[in-house]
Chain A
Amino acid sequence: MTTNKTIQEKIREYNDNLLKFIKSNNDVKYIFYLDLGVKTVRLICYSEEFIPHIQKQLAYSLKENAEKYDTTIILWKVNDIKQTIKYISSDFDLKTNLKLRAELIVRKQISIYDNTYSKTKPIFNVNSTHDVINSYDRISNTYFYGVKNLDPEEFIKEGHIFVQILNNILKTPNTNLVHGACVGLDNKGILLCARGQRGKSTLAVLAMIEGFEYVSDDYLTLEKEGDNLYAHPIYSIITLSPRMYNELYDRLDGTRFISNNARKDKYVINISNFHNQFKKKYPIKLCMFPEIVSDKEPSIKECTQQEKGRAITHLIHSTIFQMNDIHDINTIQKLIKMVKEYEFYKINLCNNIFKNVECLKEFIKEYKNG
């Protein structure tokens, strides 16, 4: 490779060669489309092993056909990560490029940045801990996502399937992927803003079980349209701790257990049987900040300015940390703008999760009626 190539030219060459490599070793097994409400994504699977993961995790968004699509994700199974990158470019020949090999050994990854794309997120990344190759081709608007170990218990350790890629795709001036939960009644959506361990997921899941309209317990897309804010579902899975899973066990009938994420600290469950309660473009009417307290009864009250600030901080903090967007000031400003004019309420959650949902139901039924 000549040294006078720009980083953009190099990345293009890497991606061209990567695609050749994938095609030379695999056939297309399936093409899916993801209808994410604000974007449609084409998924080209070069490995059958990806298909059950996609079908289980993204059942609601998954479509067989689409009239058009905005972007493409190419999925393939990595057999040998070193062999793959060696094929992509002589730059990655670890026999001769000792500096790169040292980097891969010590840092467990090779990250290449295109500052015109992002100064903080690599446009090309090889992770040897999880044996994952990620790349993005800007010209064809195509993402590459290769994984070596697609065994369910190993794969689920990566969290929700290609959530980082979807985060990039869903990032527009008016939309963003958000780590939060959303349920509601009668088109009155409640955006639950909180970091983990605050009862957000449990409240959202039990509300869904109790008949609430549902968008997500974990990741969703927010779309600002004029003065209105809408939430769109992405995934058809929920995650519950074993304790909560046991507590809700009798009410989860019909769901499909997917994995215990190998460490048995979270159970991943497919909730396709609740799809009739899923809502697209669901209007957000208020935001809520859950907090687990020792009170015997749950309660809801309007947030003080300080509490509202904490709630917004939680929403933004958990989103940008999980999405590696901690240096992305534009995303932070956008998320603040999306929610800052909304009324924020604090829900004090008691130990009885059923009482909590009942409290939420009573509140939202009465909320701004008429």
Chain B
Amino acid sequence: MANYQLNDSKMFADITDGIAIIINSETGIYYGMNAFGTQIYENISNGVSTEKIWEKIKTLGTEEENFKAFLDAMIEKELIIPANNSNAEPNIDENIAKEDNFILELKEYNDAQELLLADPIHEVKEEEGWSPEKSSLNEDKEDVARREAKMV
């Protein structure tokens, strides 16, 4: 039995409208999957073993070569790493698989590395005016709460 999980030390994953994106925070490369691929990734990250997933999807018509290539690519790109065994059962929506012709897709994109690796734009804070005044944080909380309540 082989179980995997998201390599969350360097990867960030998001699923929106049934489509997953996984971003490598060290390289700025991101990976997109089709809806069927997203289902498989979700099952993997939910602790379903790759054997159980294969047992399920081979009956749908997915080619073993396609499944292996999809899995190998995720491992090779370090999107997923080995995880502890789990008894989770697969949950595959056949309609979604059918819409993608039972083909699993994983695509790599490197068109936003500069953007994604640059320091995020931090909002300009009122560095001084709004910054925590440490001494003031030690106020008597009960007294402050009492005064706040009175002023509302």
Residues on A facing B (Cβ under 8 Å): 82, 94-96, 98-99, 101-103, 105-109, 111, 127, 129, 159, 195-198, 201, 218, 239, 241-243, 245-246, 249, 252, 255-257, 260-261, 263-267, 269, 318, 321-324
Contact = CB atoms under 8 A, between A and B. Distances in A.
28 contacts: A102-B30, A102-B112, A106-B25, A106-B115, A106-B120, A108-B120, A109-B121, A111-B121, A195-B127, A195-B128, A196-B129, A197-B128, A197-B129, A242-B136, A243-B135, A245-B147, A246-B139, A246-B143, A249-B147, A255-B151, A257-B151, A257-B152, A260-B148, A261-B130, A265-B133, A267-B148, A269-B151, A321-B127
Contact of B23 (A102, A111, A255): A102
A4 B109 CA distance: 24
Nearest first, the 5 closest Cβ-Cβ pairs linking A and B are A196-B128, A257-B151, A196-B129, A95-B17, A265-B132
B144 A264 contact: yes
Nearest to A239: B129
A265 B130 contact: yes
A260 B148 CA distance: 9
B76 interface: no
A200 B18 CA distance: 53
Given A105-B14, A109-B121, A243 B132 contact: no
Nearest to A98: B32
B16 A101 contact: yes
Contact of A103 (B116, B124, B135): B116
A297 B116 CA distance: 54
A82 B16 CA distance: 9
Contacts of B32: 98
Interface residues of B, number: 38
Given A196-B126, A196-B131, A265 B136 contact: yes
B19 interface: yes
Contact of A98 (B21, B124, B135, B152): B21
B136 A243 contact: yes
Contacts of B128: 195-198, 318
A327 to B, nearest CB: 12
Contacts of A218: 129
Interface in B64-120: 109, 111-112, 115-116, 120
A102 B129 contact: no
A103 B136 contact: no
B137 A265 contact: yes
Contacts of A260: 148
A218 B111 CA distance: 43
Contact of B130 (A101, A127, A266): A266
Contacts of A255: 151
Nearest to B29: A102
Contacts of A252: 151
A201 B133 CA distance: 14
Contact of A105 (B12, B126, B131): B12
A266 B126 CA distance: 12
A264 B137 CA distance: 7
Looking at B109, B123, B139, the one whose CB has the most chain A CB atoms below 10 A away is: B123
B152 to A, nearest CB: 6
Contacts of B151: 252, 255-257, 269
A255 B152 CA distance: 9
Contacts of B25: 106
Contacts of B14: 101, 105
Contacts of B123: 127, 129
Contacts of B120: 106-108
A159 B126 contact: yes
A111 B25 CA distance: 20
Nearest to A259: B148
Given A101-B16, A127-B123, A318-B128, 6 more contacts: A101-B21, A242-B137, A256-B152, A266-B129, A269-B151, A323-B124
Given A106-B120, A108-B120, A98 B137 contact: no
